[in-house]
Amino acid sequence: MATLSEVIAAWQSEGYTGNWFATSDGLLRCNESGLDADPASVTVDRKMRFEGQSDPDDEVIVFALSEPGGRKGVYSAQYGAQMPAEDAAVIAKLRHR
């Protein structure tokens, strides 16, 4: 099984170079460009979930995302009951293939 860092590195080598995070106003923001994206316009190309070895609260979900304009990036969030509200709001709006 691949690690989180291995999956992210593989996706980055395929062109998913942006590093996106959820904002408090429900958008995805790219760390590199500073540009925002509406999660409803972004497509989930792939996703993987990771669970911690010993702590059930240590769960992460990671997405390979693409925008209609061609930007691609990786977005990760804590998964489960401890997920921050801004991540839950963004994930609910994402379009899945």
Query: 95 in the Ramachandran plot: left (φ > 0), alpha (ψ -120 to 50) or beta?
Result: beta
SS3 36: strand
Per-residue pLDDT of the chain (97 residues; tens, 9 = 90+): 588 899 999 999 999 999 999 999 999 999 988 999 999 999 999 999 998 765 666 789 999 999 988 999 999 999 888 889 999 999 999 988 7
Question: How far are the Cα atoms of 48, 49, 65 from residue 42, in angstroms, in the given order?
Answer: 17, 19, 6
What's the confidence (pLDDT) of residue 75?
97
The pTM of the full predicted model, rounded to 2 decimals, is: 0.89
How many C-beta atoms surround the C-beta of residue 25 within 10 A?
9
Question: Residue 2 has what DSSP assignment?
Answer: -
Q: How far apart are CA 50 and CA 2, in angstroms?
A: 9
Q: Both tokens of residue 44?
A: 């989930």
